[in-house]
Each structure stands twice: as C-alpha cells, then as structure tokens.
Structure 1
C-alpha cells in the first residue's frame, strides 16, 4: 500500500511545459502568483496584430497540473490597454502605473488589482518565463 501512495504522489508532481520564445514584435511579461495556490501568469502582447494571451501556470504543490491559456485582442485607450477576451467577449483593462527601465519591472492595475509584471530583462523569473522571451 505504501508503494502505491508513493507512485500516486509521483503522478501529481509537475513542472510547467517549456514555453516557446516570443516572435519579433511580441512583448512578454511575467506575473508571479500571490501565494502557493494561485497561478503565475505569462502575458504576451503581439504589437503587429493587436492580439495576445494570458497563460496561467498552477503551482505544482496543488496537484492540479494545468496550464490555462486565455487569448484576447487589445487596443490602447489613453494610458490603458483594453482587452477583449476572445472566449467570452468580456472586456478587461490593464493600466501601467509605474515602470523601471533599469530593472524592466512594471507596476500595473489589472481590473482593479495591482500587480508587478517582470519583463524579459528582469532578474529572478522562473525558467519557463525566461524561455517565453
């Protein structure tokens, strides 16, 4: 019985699949999940097409080895970026509040929540976020 439990734990261990490098004209941002249960996100904005996606990476400790991807189109409106989520048609808003070019870190407001987004030149991102750049 102990052997079966050990094998089951092995089934639930998970590492994120390798992300592909971004094509030219694409800006990638990484947002670390707030705690051990919430997903970290990679945000991708393709400037030539006005499209992008948010890809969520659920932490492996939750035993839910799921990556979710949510495509959107976007347009700028003043200082904000307005997202139209492809699946639902609902709108979202991302507003940059502060950006440090030295560290490539941006404080943004995403639908009322403040988040730090880390660009491709910022340090301390996990391997799958680095690979997305």
Structure 2
C-alpha cells in the first residue's frame, strides 16, 4: 500500500494560515479561561465564609473601599484605594474584628480600638447591591455578583 500523498502548500498566504488558526484558537481559549476566572468565581465566593463588598468613593477625590468579612474568624479589613487624581495613589488597609447582631454589624478597629457600626438598610439580591448606614452615613456597597465594579474590586472577589 502506497503512503498517502502530502499536500503541497503553494503560496505564502496558505503557509501562514494554519499558524494563524492555532494562534486564534489559543487566544480564544485564554480569553475563555480569563472570563471564567473573573465571572465564575463570584457566585462561589458569595456562598463562602468570606464576603467581599466594594464601596465606591463619594467623589473623584475620596477613596473607594474593599470591605472583607470572614465569618469563620469574625475578622475583616477595609482596604482603601485613593484615586490617581490625587497626589497619593496608594492603598491603605485597616483590620477589624466584628460582631453581628441582627442587621447591625459592630466593628472594633484593631489599631485604634475604636468602634464602628454598619447597619443594613436594604439589600437587592438580584443585583447584589446593599444600602448600608456606616456610622450615620448612607453608602451603597456592591457584592461580587454586581456589575460595574472596577478591575481591582473584581480581583478582590
């Protein structure tokens, strides 16, 4: 039995076609994996013991915050992200312990020992958005399933 004939590539355009197809296929696979990592992790995180919330800054000069609560240990942190429009584009992190009593969470800031209070006013489970009262100041907090968060907030989930 004679071996099958190997087709000859007749032009430069045809020579590059298989390589281009491989590059496109690999790029698509990488993009699918990245999308799964970004969007697939949120529902699992929401059901886990650590709950992460994003709180946008009040204006373009005040920091946005990532709030993290670990129900296993009763501890968490608030990480501030100062906007790049100010002179100090740095992060700061403030650890706390907390206690839950109904809709109110009492925070004890680790460094200063002072107390803070976070009370849930309203929560929309469909959008994973919560209106909270933080020390007499109303704020919207966005969970890991909510849309429109910046990349650093998505990465925290």
Per the normalisation by structure 2, the TM-score is 0.69
RMSD over aligned Cα atoms: 1.3
Give the match for residue 36 of structure 1.
60
Distance (whole Å) between structure 2 residues aligned to residue 130 and residue 66 of structure 1: 18
Q: Which residue of 1 aligns with 2:135?
A: 111
SS in 1 for 2:88: coil
Write the distance in 1 (CA, Å) between the matches of 2:108 and 2:85: 32
Deviation (angstroms), 1:77: 2.1
Q: CA deviation at 1:65?
A: 1.7
Report which structure shows greater RCO (CA 8 Å, sep ≥6): 1
The answer to whether the aligner puts 1:124 opposite 2:148 as a matched pair is yes
Partner of 2:4: none
> Could you tell which deviates more after superposition, 44-53 or 71-80?
71-80
Runs of 4+ residues deviating >6 angstroms:
none
Correspondence for 2:120: 96
User: Which deviates the most, 119-128 or 74-83?
Assistant: 74-83
> Who is 1:53 aligned against?
77
Residue 63 of structure 1 and its aligned partner are, at CA, apart by 2.1
More helix by share: 2
Q: Name the CA distance, whole Å, in 2 between partners of 1:119 and 1:68.
A: 20
TM-score norm. by structure 1 comes to 0.81
Gaps in structure 1 of 5+ consecutive residues: 1-20
Aligned residue-pair number: 112
* Alignment gaps of 5+ in structure 2: 1-41
